[in-house]
Amino acid sequence: MTDLLDHPLISERYFFPRSGSFSDPFWVDCGDARLACSYDEIDPAAKTLVHFHGNGEIVDDWRGDFVGLINRMGCNCFLAELRGYGQSSGDPQLGKMLKDVVPIVEALGRSVEELIFFGRSVGSIFALEAAARFPHAAGLVLESGVADVLERLLLRVEPAELNVSGDTLKQAVARHLNHQDKLKSFLGPVLVLHTQHDGLVDVSHGQRLYDWASGRKTLKIFPHGNHNDIMYVNAREYFSLLQTFISSLA
């Protein structure tokens, strides 16, 4: 039922791609799309943070200061682009974007035990897919993440508009986007970051993601900031928590 998740109305109403370009992207071939990712390697023996950005964002938004901070933590940094975003080809179709996760991870050619998956906002959907597909990864970070994808989709599209029943849509989401099951299967440590006053993805999503994680886990609910400025408003503590988490994986 991934075809249902690729419905044009879901693509149109749920995803907000932007164009952008930078020189020398790290191209990932996903069959019917090429993804313009970015990879900064400081040490081939170091762990690599694999970052999936949020909606309305592109890889180029994260190049520069963010990558530099991750590098200073001793990590390589891989910025994964989404189909239809930035310089990537294809359309932002949810089912296909889930399938893109495996070729993205495999394109690095690295041991999965050396990878840390990071998902921000909508990017949490793809970081969780990576965690489910590669449960032996070193760690997982979820920032302003989505616990219930069906809840988010129903804010923008009605099942009848997709020519299906509510149960059919619910089954499709449950089959491919059960974040509780994905977190249950993940074996590594999990760090969940959210703001108390997130006006786009309610803080209850962060709490649920934390509750569902089965192994060593950390939850930080920031009292200040909102969905799109969580990192900037809380920069000192945000990056301190991330540094502590990454150091604990050594």
Q: Judging by beta carbons within 10 Å of its beta carbon (0-12, 13-18, 19+), is residue 47 exposed, middle or buried?
A: buried
pLDDT band at 95 (very low <50, low <70, confident <90, very high): very high
pLDDT band at 201 (very low <50, low <70, confident <90, very high): very high
CA distances from 217 to 120, 191, 241 (A): 17, 6, 12
pLDDT in tens, 107-131: 999 999 999 999 999 999 999 999 9
pLDDT at 118: 99
Q: pLDDT > 90: what percent of the chain?
A: 98
pLDDT at 110: 95
pLDDT at 159: 97
pLDDT at position 75 over 70: yes
The letter for the amino acid at 150 is L
pLDDT at position 2 over 70: no
pLDDT in tens, 156-194: 999 999 999 999 999 999 999 999 999 999 999 999 999
**What rounded mean pLDDT belongs to the chain?**
97
DSSP readout, the chain? -HHHHT-HHHHHHH----B---SS-EEEE-SS-EEEEEEE-S-TTS-EEEEE--TT--GGGTTTHHHHHHHHTT-EEEEEPPTTSBT--S---HHHHHHHHHHHHHHT---GGGEEEEEETTHHHHHHHHHHH-TTSSEEEEES--S-HHHHHHTT--GGGGTS-HHHHHHHHHHH--HHHHHHH--S-EEEEEETT-SSS-HHHHHHHHHH--SSEEEEEESS--TTTHHHHTHHHHHHHHHHHHHHT-
Phi, psi (rounded to 5 degrees) for 79: -100, 110
- Note whether 36 and 86 are within 8 A (CB): yes
The letter for the amino acid at 124 is S
pLDDT at position 102 over 90: yes
Phi, psi (rounded to 5 degrees) for 142: -125, 115
Q: In which residue are the tokens 């989404």 written?
A: 82
Mean pLDDT of 65-80: 97
The letter for the amino acid at 29 is D
Structural domains in the chain, sorted by start: 2-248 (3.40.50.1820)
pLDDT at 1: 52
Mean pLDDT of 51-59: 97
pLDDT at position 233 over 80: yes
